[in-house]
């Protein structure tokens, strides 16, 4: 857990989130400012700053995140597709410095 990290606080249950999935490694919750009718994030419970800080040890974790995306997308009613976005670093538009994968859909193509 990293102090002052909003997603670590959500993982710890210190601040609320609208969760749609949780296991020992991962959590998924709806974005507080949705960019489309469905917009949630899949987040590793471990505080990894970004994709640029991930390493070989995270290989299985990263695979699990991507394999979970279509399962949760379907559960949210996204039957004909969705977008996945990973913003990395300041230059990549990342605002929350805890790795997360956005899953977005339901607003037609290019909703975000």
Closer residue to ligand 5GP, CB minimum distance, 76 or 94: 94
Tell me the window of 31-39, 43-51, 73-81, 88-96 that interacts with Zn ion (CB under 5 A): 43-51
Single out the residue of 32, 52, 66, 112 in contact with ligand 5GP (rule: CB under 6 A). Answer: 32
Single out the residue of 5, 6, 49, 51 in contact with ligand 5GP (rule: CB under 6 A). Answer: 6
Q: Residue 18 and residue 87: Cα distance in Å, rounded?
A: 21
The alpha carbon of residue 62 and the mean position of all alpha carbons in its chain are separated, in whole angstroms, by 11
Which entry of ligand 5GP, Zn ion, none binds 98, CB below 5 to 8 A by partner kind?
A: Zn ion
Q: Residue 14 and residue 29: Cα distance in Å, rounded?
A: 14
Rg (CA), the chain: 13
Is 100 annotated as catalytic?
Answer: yes
45: CB partners within 8 A, 6+ apart: 11, 24, 25, 26, 27
Q: Does 2 bind Zn ion (CB under 5 A)?
A: yes
Binding site for Zn ion (CB under 5 A): 2, 5, 7-8, 47, 98
């Amino acid at each position: 857990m990293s102090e002052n990290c909003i997603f670590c606080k959500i993982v710890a249950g210190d601040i609320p989130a609208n969760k749609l999935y949780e296991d020992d490694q991962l959590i998924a919750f709806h974005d507080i400012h949705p960019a489309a009718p469905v917009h949630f994030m899949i987040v590793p419970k471990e505080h990894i700053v970004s994709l640029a800080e991930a390493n070989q040890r995270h290989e299985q974790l990263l695979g699990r995140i991507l394999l979970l995306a279509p399962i949760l997308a379907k559960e949210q009613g996204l039957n004909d597709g969705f977008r996945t976005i990973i913003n990395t670093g300041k230059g990549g538009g990342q605002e929350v410095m805890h790795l997360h994968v956005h899953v977005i859909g339901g607003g037609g193509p290019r909703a975000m």
